[in-house]
Chains A and B, each alone.
Chain A
């Protein structure tokens, strides 16, 4: 009686192999869950949330669903952006969807062209859209997750130009109008994971200049119209000020960890968070940065750009909390638990009229589908409503 079982035949080994298969399937696919992207139409007050394979419009006072748009074969990581009644959002297959913001009706979908090699086979792997969009009167600008900035027609969704970068563009591009006073053309500023900040002619897609920031730039740049400066956060834990006139770096501030969410500028103060859970406020002068305050706020990463209201700065964190602090000194106002990770930008909904008696709220997107959106009363942090995606 002879067998030559080396190792596959052992039941223990088979169990181990099957375990390996399960584990690989679990851990490789685990990271593909999207996060909720939230935005608001400042004209109508409607809230839009993108999550998994759909986009939903929600009533800002009740949290009721207004319409829902389903994408069949790709998830959304990008935040929906509404401009003049049209909603734009990119999906995880590199397409850009244009929808009627009032009804959810699809207007057009831009899909990047692929050169096929033989039959369905292509050398082009396709791409994904992680960034939001910037919009001007004619074009929509958005980054692709693996590389390049695209510009498509607002009317037709046809590709107008492509600007090549050497890595992905995860940051929402920043469109700055032409300024005849300083003889500048309309410019799109693109922050890329290839470490460069690019200035691109918005009409032609030609590069105007670029500057090495020393690390990947995942978040949208903030524009300072007073000084004509741009502020970016990087994966080398820096916030950098760039003078758009000279194209030179003015100052750098070193944070404790990666700065993913773009900084936000208001009244000579720059606010941002880092992935260690710290919040920062920097005073900006013509000489550069000076730390105003720094607070260890959260136990998890602060990925999104902070939301500024009249007195408060509000952020969500990976530690499943939303935090509100005083803008002036960083003093804590309230913190509230969310069921899922709060990784995306929050939106502010101002108080309704006296008739409706609805208070001002901040709406946070979370990673938990049962409480995908949670609206907190701005003054107290009390929960006003939540949106359950499973209903």
Chain B
């Protein structure tokens, strides 16, 4: 099954290496860009779904409070809410799961073409869709001081992997504050989220120390390209770096928004600024995000659908 991914990836990587003048780092970077571009629809879908789930949090919290002693009813009400707003609660992580085999394929393609181990190189022979590309196997393994088939002896790449992974997480994902509401699950989620922010960069740093430095080039390239990609989508917030809530995270952003920025917001969010704990919308009201429809290329029809539904009801 994984061969369906590894084989074309290995072929494409070798092809890029050949047409890019035998520059292996350039080939890996261009390869990463191509993969990012190919998975762009998934990224968008993940973003939208995550956003929608985020916006429903106040309503979910209310449901939890209301049905705190009846888990079954709570679950039913939750599902009803998801149904009403046209949200699939799994949609946020499904794209991530879909990307797992893609990532695995990438790693295998890079390590095999770099001849990181004899076993991996042995497997490569049956993977190439264009047999003529055998002439560039294995890829040149020398880049600056690095031997790309083995870990970086200076530990510079692992450090860069940790920094860029951390940066991309901080810039792309808004901080997850404990809401202080006493909602245990929300607090736990916030705690786990913070732990993951620490664990993931260290984990990738560990991979970088342990495996071929060609992989580290991919990690770093992927992180930087990811930051660039999210920046183009308007999802990167420098404020996240400082641990401040982001504008792209609507509710916490409302707490810190200055007057000049307020004018950009929808009334519903402004109301949230003044009375953050007070519910703004009932279940029958659509969720409207600050500036959502103003963002070029991003249009969420759910709010429109919910509005139309409410109109029809009234």
Chain A residues at the B interface, C-beta cutoff of 8 Å: 1-17, 19-21, 23-25, 27-29, 31-33, 35, 77, 117, 121-128, 130, 145-147, 166-168, 170, 193, 214-216, 235-237, 257-258, 260, 275-276, 301, 303, 318, 343
Contacts and interface: CB of A to CB of B under 8 A. Distances in A.
A4 B54 contact: yes
Given A1-B179, A3-B190, A130 B118 contact: yes
A249 to B, nearest CB: 16
A90 to B, nearest CB: 13
B196 A7 contact: no
A144 to B, nearest CB: 10
A258 B125 contact: yes
Given A3-B186, A146-B150, A236 B181 contact: no
Given A1-B61, A12-B93, A7 B107 contact: no
Given A5-B193, A16-B93, A19-B100, 4 more contacts: A4-B174, A32-B119, A166-B140, A237-B131
B93 A9 contact: no
A24 B65 CA distance: 40
Contact of B249 (A6, A13, A15, A193): A6
B125 A275 contact: yes
Given A24-B107, A126-B150, A6 B54 contact: yes
Contacts of B119: 31-33, 35
B251 A2 contact: yes
B49 to A, nearest CB: 9
Contacts of B135: 214-215, 235-236
Contact of A123 (B151, B153, B197, B215): B153
A38 B115 CA distance: 23
Contacts of B108: 27
Contacts of A125: 145-147, 150-153, 213
B153 A126 contact: yes
B93 A257 contact: no
Contacts of A146: 141-142, 147, 149-150
Contacts of A124: 153
Contact of B173 (A8, A166, A258): A8
Given A31-B111, A122-B153, A9 B134 contact: no
Contacts of B51: 6
Interface in B88-135: 89-90, 92-93, 96-97, 100, 103-104, 107-108, 111-112, 115-120, 122, 125-126, 131, 134-135
Interface string B18-47: 000000000000000000000000000010
Interface in B149-185: 149-155, 169, 173-177, 179, 181, 183
B189 interface: yes
Interface stretch (B203-211, B284-292, B305-313): B203-211
B115 A1 contact: no
Contact of B189 (A3, A35, A193): A3
B271 interface: no
Contacts of B153: 121-126
21 contacts: A4-B54, A7-B50, A8-B169, A9-B189, A10-B50, A16-B100, A19-B100, A20-B103, A23-B103, A31-B111, A31-B112, A77-B118, A121-B154, A123-B145, A146-B147, A215-B134, A215-B137, A216-B138, A235-B137, A236-B135, A303-B122
Contacts of B176: 3-6, 8-9
Nearest to A7: B50
Interface of B: 46, 50-51, 53-54, 57-58, 61-62, 65, 89-90, 92-93, 96-97, 100, 103-104, 107-108, 111-112, 115-120, 122, 125-126, 131, 134-135, 137-138, 140-142, 145-147, 149-155, 169, 173-177, 179, 181, 183, 186, 189-190, 192-193, 196-197, 200, 203, 207, 210-211, 213, 215, 245, 249-252, 276-277
Contacts of B50: 6-7, 10
Contacts of A343: 122
5 closest A-B pairs (Cβ-Cβ)?
A1-B61, A9-B189, A12-B93, A4-B249, A31-B120
Contact of B97 (A5, A16, A29, A122): A16
Given A4-B176, A16-B93, A123 B154 contact: yes
B118 A4 contact: no
Contacts of B120: 31
B141 A167 contact: yes
Nearest to A194: B140
A24 B103 contact: yes
A253 B87 CA distance: 62
Contacts of B122: 260, 275, 301, 303, 318, 343
Nearest to A195: B135
B79 to A, nearest CB: 15
A206 B100 CA distance: 49
A8 B174 contact: no
Among B107, B111, B146, B150, the one with the most A-chain Cβ atoms within 10 Å of its Cβ is B150
A22 to B, nearest CB: 10
A117 B156 CA distance: 13
Among A3, A146, A257, A260, the one with the most B-chain Cβ atoms within 10 Å of its Cβ is A3
A29 B215 CA distance: 12
Contacts of A170: 118
Contacts of B249: 4, 6
A204 B50 CA distance: 66
Contact of A167 (B112, B138, B145, B251): B138
